[in-house]
Structure 1
Amino acid sequence: MARNYPEFFAICKAAGVDYKEVVSEFTSGRTDSLRSLNDGEYHELFIHVRKWQQTKRPDAVAPGDKQRKKLIALAGKMNWGNNTVEIVGRLNNWSQENYGVELNQLDVNTLNKVLWVMENKIYKDYLNKV
């Protein structure tokens, strides 16, 4: 396994600990340098430190995120832009014209309605024209 020092430092910083203290504690004071650890020690320490990373919980996802992603995908299929930024811009304009707010401001119930309209009206009309 290649040593990934930047990731190690980022995890320590996010956890609010000094990496030198972590290394020193791990080696029982023998060293505070990551480079002086052999590969096995580094790997073992890295596994230990990775446990400090918080995993993204499903409830941390914004409400309506799935609907927004599906709207972006449908708009992409209809060539509303060449990249995601253009597509989201067009969706925001469309959303403001039809619903008075940008895409990210729509609540989940409205997003469900918007998605239904997009799938069953706009996308079907697009397919019929193609």
Structure 2
Amino acid sequence: MRVVVGAAGLALMAVGGLLVWDQATHWDVLVWLAGAAVLHDAIIAPLVLAAGLLTGGVKNRGLLRGTLLTAGCLTLIALPVLLRPLPAANPSVVPLDYVRGLLVSLGVLIALSLLLGALRWARGRRGRRAGG
């Protein structure tokens, strides 16, 4: 089964490569792919590993790590528009303020994480009092 799935993946990659090569901007796509690999290996992976090491002794570290990872993903999604805002000839293309949207999303994420942490703390405290 592993060989079949691997062969199907290679075949789909070959089809995708041929479709990209037929485009006029195939070099741009190759540069983007190389940049994505470098960005991941040189910046994102070390940051995630460092965050994991720095939060090793923290209580509820899974919640903290999940919050940090989600915040990083939200930031990466908004980053292209934040760093290179294009002029909008059509205001319906990007109708919302990305900075405000990112800040609101991060605020909601932090609030939910704090709420979940408080609920876990209260449940643990109640369990210790009942069992003590």
TM-score with structure 1 length normalisation? 0.28
Of structures 1 and 2, the larger Rg is shown by 1
RCO higher in structure (CA 8 A, sep ≥6): 2
